[in-house]
Amino acid sequence: MFPMLTLLSMFYYICLRRRSRSGTRSEALGSRRAVELGQRSALPVTVEVEQYGKEVLDFSSHYGSENSMSYTMWNLAGVPNVYPSSGDFTQTAVFRTYGSWWEQCISSATPFRRTPPNFHSLDYLELAFEEPVYPTAVEVLETYHPGAIVKILACSLNPFSQNPPADVRWEVLWAGKPNKSLTPQARQFSPSIRQISFASNLLRLEVNSTLLDYYTELDAVILRGVRERPILALYKIPVIDINDLSDSEEEISDAGGLCCRSGGENRHNMGNGYFDRLPYELIQLIVSHLPVPDLCRLAQSCKLFHKHCCDPLQYIQLSLQPYWARLTDASLSHLQSRCTLLQRLNMSWTGNRGAVTAAGFCSFMKACGLSLVCLELSCCHFLTEACLEVIAQTCQCLQELNLASCDRLQPQAFNLIAKLPNLRRLVLYRTKVEQSAILSILTFCPELRHLNLGSCVMIEDYDVVASMLSARCRSLRSLDLWRCRNLSERGLAELVSGCRLLEELDLGWCSTLQSSSGCFQHLARSLPRLRKLFLTANRTVCDSDLEELAANCSALEHLDILGTRMVSPVSLRKLLQCCPQLKLLDVSFCSQIDSRFIQELSGLFPNVSIKKSFTQ
């Protein structure tokens, strides 16, 4: 009993010492007296600043084009364009995906093990404001299908400053789980945020749209805050973290002489409990369920766990994306000796603003990349041509490479991907890859199964790319040509004639294709395995196209014909009858399909999610 009380007393004393260090003695006394004497009027009056976003600095994806403003993330800067109206508006910021449809596609990546259960983020955007403030509130104006925001963070870096700090910190202001609003109507989302110790004019919103029925649309973000740190927050009692308590000799002597050393006569050797008796494989299985930070902490507890937690078998696949805000060159160096058997690595979103350097990444890849088969690097802006050269030289077994939204990687760097002959899946969404590079890749990587060239605006002639795909990549299963500018009917005909195993084809916003040429009917007859087809915003899709899909593509699961004026209720009903596996059908802005008919179809085909967006 008494030793326990003594231990608790020591713990309480150390906590008080930690609290006292939050300010100088004179400042603490002054603040306490001000509060005790009720002299609140003597405290400085702080004026709250309200400001809208000034500039969108970075984002992971958007629905819109790189050459326009419709549905792009850049719409989030400035005052509201739409709010308080609700509905589908082109002046808002919209992410590329929603719902669980994309996760069900064969082109999606296999999830990584050990992803923390509280990491829900699938997309992000970073928004800068004019003036750094200590945040008191953040308000997000959501105008359509709200509920996607799962985390709001603030950064210590002023993106407009000429003297950036040596240590860039991100602090979470608010975090929650994905949710689905009861109504798609507009709302002002203003969660209760925590106080932070620095002024910020850079916010990051992270979203997860998997629970939503349609695309979420954001109109504006308001940052409220004060220019000077709230004085009472300076002396707020900190949350005590047991891992932060010091065991230095000074602390122990100040605590009344109690120390952790004990004489030999009082020492009890408890060993490692029953863990010493468990088979090695069983302990490996137990620790395999720990997230990476917990695995590193457990390695410091004893020699037995150090041995198990540093075993390279624990690092066959490694996802560092959830820890993007903390990952540095030093982190990679620390992990290097453990990752000699690494096969799958996810570093998406990591290393930006100097946290990871090209040299640090290259050093890690040279040591750990020999066995890699999957490498996820979306939104990694530290990547350079030298990084891709190291990947090409070291990772000869690589089968999957994701460079989505690496839009700062220079065009010539993509030529190096052609040195990876075993590639099966390649994602180049929103990159500066040029036509010469993609043709070289297709020439030397004939085993490609999944290729994403969505929003690759520097490819000049997609017909040439389609012709090369038809000749070299006959095993292709999925192809994303979202917003490709110049694919013609001739190019599409070559593509579907050579790549007859295609199951997914995204031709959304490819406005140069004309149904009158018979290209979509030829597509339906040539691709009997088709499961996903996006013909988004092609105004020429007609009844004949749907009839051919109904007759030849019975395995169809996802179909998007948003925006066509030439599809009638009769052909739509026939399609639903002939495609029993259909799960998603988007007929938004199809002028011949009204809401009443949608309700009728939903009753007849309850397993199909039929989308019909609106503008209020």
CB proximity list for 306: less than 8 A, separation 6 or greater: 299, 300
- CATH superfamily entry for domain 46-229: Galactose-binding domain-like (2.60.120.260)
- Say if CB 597 and CB 573 are below 8 A apart: no
Q: Which residues, at least 6 apart from 294, have a Cβ–Cβ distance to it below 8 Å? A: none
Q: Specify the pLDDT at position 257.
A: 35
- DSSP bridge partners of 93: 218
Phi, psi of 529 (to 5 degrees): -90, 0
- HSE-up of residue 427 (Cα within 13 Å, Cβ side): 19
> Is a pLDDT exceeding 90 seen at residue 573?
yes
Give yes or no for residue 458 having a pLDDT over 60: yes
What are 225's strand-pairing partners?
A: 49, 135
Most confident of 12-16, 294-298, 496-500: 496-500
Q: Span 204-216, mean pLDDT? A: 97
The string of pLDDT tens digits covering residues 318-330 is 999 999 999 999 9
Tell me the CA distances in angstroms from 524 to 140, 228, 278, 485, 531, one per residue in order: 43, 64, 59, 22, 11
DSSP bridge partners of 317: 344
pLDDT 10s digits, 31-80: 444 444 444 444 455 789 999 999 999 999 999 999 899 999 999 999 99
The residues with which 401 forms a beta bridge, in sequence order, are 375, 426
Q: Give the span between the Cα atoms of 584 and 605, in whole angstroms.
A: 11
| 376 has pLDDT over 60 | yes
Residue 251: the pLDDT is 33
Q: What is the per-residue pLDDT across 82-122, written as a single tens digit (0 to 9) for each? A: 999 999 999 999 999 999 988 889 999 999 999 999 999 99
Which residues have CB under 8 Å from 457's CB, separation 6+? 65, 66, 67, 485
Domain spans of the chain? Answer: 46-229, 460-615
Note the pLDDT of residue 188: 97
Report the CATH superfamily, name and number, of domain 460-615. Ribonuclease Inhibitor (3.80.10.10)
Q: Of the ranges 86-100, 214-228, 290-304, which one carries the lowest mean pLDDT score? A: 290-304
Of the pLDDT bands very low, low, confident and very high (cuts 50, 70, 90), residue 224 is: very high
User: Considering the entire predicted model, what is its pTM?
Assistant: 0.87
pLDDT score, position 56: 98
Handedness of CA 193, 196, 200, 202 (dihedral sign): negative
Locus of tokens 């008191």 = 136
Taking residue 43's Cβ as centre, other Cβ atoms within 10 Å add up to 13
Burial of 49 (0-12, 13-18, 19+ CB in 10 A): middle
Spatial CB neighbours of 69, under 8 Å, sequence gap ≥ 6: 75, 90, 91
Residues 10-30, mean pLDDT to the nearest whole number: 43
* Structure confidence at residue 82 (pLDDT): 96
304-349 pLDDT, tens per residue? 999 999 999 999 999 999 999 999 999 999 999 999 999 999 999 9
Mean pLDDT computed over 449-465: 97
Strands 217-226 and 93-94: antiparallel
Mean pLDDT in residue range 459-468 = 97
Strands 400-402 and 425-427: parallel
Does residue 183 surpass a pLDDT of 80?
Answer: yes
Structure confidence at residue 469 (pLDDT): 98
Determine the Cα–Cα distance for residues 529 and 478; give it in Å rounded to an integer: 11
Task: Render pLDDT for 501-551 as a digit per residue (tens, 0 to 9).
Answer: 999 999 999 999 999 999 999 999 999 999 999 999 999 999 999 999 999
Contact 181/188 with Cβ under 8 angstroms? no
Per this entry, what is the length of the chain?
616
**Is residue 569's pLDDT more than 80?**
yes
Give the pLDDT score at 109.
93
Other Cβ atoms less than 10 A from the Cβ of 426: the count is: 24
pLDDT over 50 at 163, yes or no: yes
Given a cut of 90, is residue 490 above it in pLDDT?
yes
Give the pLDDT score at 265.
40
- Residue where the block lists tokens 């220019």: 227
Q: What is the CA radius of gyration of the chain?
A: 28
Residue 273 — pLDDT band, cuts 50, 70, 90?
Answer: low
DSSP annotation of 417: G
Q: Rounded to an integer, what distance in angstroms lies between the CA atom of residue 498 and that of residue 187?
A: 49
